[in-house]
Amino acid sequence: MIHYNKFTLANGLRVVVHEDHTTPMAVLNVLYDVGARDENPAQTGFAHLFEHLMFGGSINIPEYDEPLQMAGGENNAYTTSDLTNYYIQLPAENIETAFWLESDRMLSLAFSEKSLDVQRKVVSEEFKEHYINKPYGDVWHKMRELAYSTHPYRWMTIGKELSHIENAQLEDVKAFFFKFYRPVNAILSVAGNVTVEQVKTLAEKWFGDIPSGEKYTRQLPVEPPQTAAHKLEVKANVPLDALYKCYHMYARSDKRYYAADLISDILGGGSSSRLHQVLVKEKKLFSNIDCYHFGSLDAGLLTIEGKLVKGVKMKDAEKAIQIELEKLQGEIIADRELQKVKNRVESLLAFEDMSLLNRANNLAFYELLGDAGLMNKEFENYEVVTAEDIHREAKLIFDEKNANTIYYYAENQG
C-alpha cells in the first residue's frame, strides 16, 4: 500500500506526494502527457528528440546538469509512444534544487541552435546504434507498419526515418514546447524524505506562476479492427531465422487488459511458461522464445517472438506456436497455473515498489491513467480474472485474422 497526497495548483499542474522517512533521498518526477503518438506523421521522432533538447539549458539556467550534480543529484528521462517522463534523484536536503531546475524548463527552454544541431546528431547515432547496426534491429519498424494502418503507433518512438530528425527546425521545437510542455498537461510527483507541506510550499513557489497553457485534447485516428492476417517476409544478414507474431490487444484502461497481460505470462513468463517449456525444451524448435507486450495506453500488440534452431523449417515452427495458442483457446487452464501467474504479478508489484524511483514514476503514471490511487488497486484487477476470462480472450486475441507475422530469414545461410 503506497500512501500519497495530491493537490492541483491554480495553473492546472497536478501534484502527487509520497512521504517515506526511511530514506535520506528524494525523487522529483515530471511526466508530460505527450508521446510519439501525438506527432505529426511527417515529423516523427520529435517527442524523443525534444526530450534530448530539454537538457540543453532553460530560460534562466544555462546548464541543467551542473547545478544538479553539485547538489549530489542524478537525472534521466525517457520517451515512449504515450508519454515523456523526467526524473531526478538527490539527497532530500537538496530537493529545492530539483524544483528550481524542473520549473525553469517548464517555464521555457533556451532554444539554442547549437543544442538542436548537436542533439540531431546524437539522436541519429542513437538511431543507428539501436535500430540499424544491430541484427534484427529493424524488425519493430517493419512490424509497426504491418500491424497498424491508421493509429500513430505505426511509427517507432525514435522516428520513422532518420530524415525526420535531421530536418527538425527550431521553429518546430518552439511550437511543440508551447503546445505540450505546459502545467495543464503535466504531472509532478515527489517522493522520499519530504513532507506534504514542504512540497506544497515549494510547488507553489517554483511552479505556481508558470502560465497554465492550453489543455491538449487528444484526438488520434482510431485503428479499425483488423479483418485479415498480415504477413511479411524479410531476408537480412543475420545468423538465424526468426519468427515474430503480433496480435492486437486492449488499451491499458480496458478491464480486459488484465486477462491479456496474464495470457502473455502464461505463454512467456518465467522458465516454466508454456512456450519456453514446449518449444525450447521439449520440441527443441526455438533456441529462445518470448511473449510480451509494452503495456501501451492505446490498444497495443501481444507479441510472440523467437529464434529458430538451425535447420528447423519456418512452417514447422509456426505450426508449433499455433498448437500452443489453440490449447489456450480450447482448454480451460488449471487453477494452479492461473494462480501461478497471479502470484507472479503480486511479487513483481512488491519488488517494483521497493525502489523510491519506481514509486515516484508509478504515482505519476497512474495519475495520468486517471488517479494515483489506482496504483494500490492494481493487484485486485488481476485477482478477479477467471479461467473463463483467459479462455474467452485467448479465442478473441489469437484469431488468425488478428495476426501480424514477420518471417525473418537469414540470408545466404543453410
Partner 1 sequence: MNRTIPPPIKDAVEFDIKLKPYEKFTLDNGIPVYVIKSEEQDTLQLELVFPAGSWYESESLEAAATNFLMKNGTSKRTALEINESVDYHGAYLNRNAYHENATFTLHCLTKHTEVLLPVLQDVIQDPSFPEEELALYKQNQKQKLAVNLQKCDFVANRFIDKYLFGDFHPYGRVSSMMAYDALQTETLRAFYQKHYTYNNCRIFVAGNMPANMLALLNKHFGTTRWNGESSLIRPELPIQPAEEKKFRIFNDENGVQGAVRIARPFPNRYHPDFPKMLVLNTIFGGYFGSRLMSNIREDKGYTYGIYSQLYNFRQVSAINIQTEAGRDVCEATIEEVYKELQQLQNVPVPQEELDLVRNYMIGSILGDLDGAFQVIQRWKNLILNDLDENYFYNNIQTIKNITAEELQQLAKQYYNPGDFYELVVI
Which residues are catalytic, by number?
51
Closest separation between CB of residue 344 and partner 1, Å?
Answer: 5
Q: Using CA atoms, how far apart are residues 213 and 182, in angstroms rounded to an integer? A: 5
**For residues 134-193, which are near partner 1 according to CB under 8 A?**
134-136
* Per-residue interface string for the shown chain with partner 1, residues 351-390, x marking contact by CB under 8 A: x-xxxx----------------------------------
Give the helix/strand (H/E) hosting 108. none
**For residues 110-129, which are near partner 1 according to CB under 8 A?**
117-126, 128-129
Contact flag: residue 94 with partner 1 (CB under 8 A): yes
Q: Which three cell numbers stand for residue 93?
A: 536536503
Q: Which three cell numbers stand for residue 5?
A: 497526497
Contact flag: residue 3 with partner 1 (CB under 8 A): no
Q: Which three cell numbers stand for residue 361?
A: 514514476
- DSSP for 171-235 reads HHHHHHHHHHSSGGGEEEEEEES--HHHHHHHHHHHHTTS---PPP---PPPPPPP-S-EEEEEE
**For residues 25-54, which are near partner 1 according to CB under 8 A?**
25
Cβ proximity to partner 1, 209 vs 326, nearer residue: 209
Cβ proximity to partner 1, 163 vs 272, nearer residue: 272
Q: Which three cell numbers stand for residue 397?
A: 486475441
Cβ proximity to partner 1, 207 vs 250, nearer residue: 207
Contact flag: residue 12 with partner 1 (CB under 8 A): no
Grid cell 478491464 is found at 255
Q: Which three cell numbers stand for residue 126?
A: 542513437
Main-chain phi, psi angles of 90, to 5 degrees: -155, 165
Cβ proximity to partner 1, 75 vs 402, nearer residue: 75
Cβ proximity to partner 1, 31 vs 242, nearer residue: 242
Closest separation between CB of residue 341 and partner 1, Å?
Answer: 9
- Which residue among 197, 346, 383, 400 contacts partner 1 (CB under 8 A)? 346
Contact flag: residue 334 with partner 1 (CB under 8 A): no
Closest separation between CB of residue 118 and partner 1, Å?
Answer: 4
First to last CA, the chain: 55
* Per-residue interface string for the shown chain with partner 1, residues 58-87, x marking contact by CB under 8 A: -xxx---xxx-xxxxxx-------------
Q: Using CA atoms, how far apart are residues 151 and 234, in angstroms rounded to an integer? A: 23
Cβ proximity to partner 1, 63 vs 254, nearer residue: 63
CB atoms within 10 A of CB 262: 24
Q: Count Cα atoms within 13 angstroms, Cβ side, for 49.
A: 34
Closest separation between CB of residue 129 and partner 1, Å?
Answer: 5
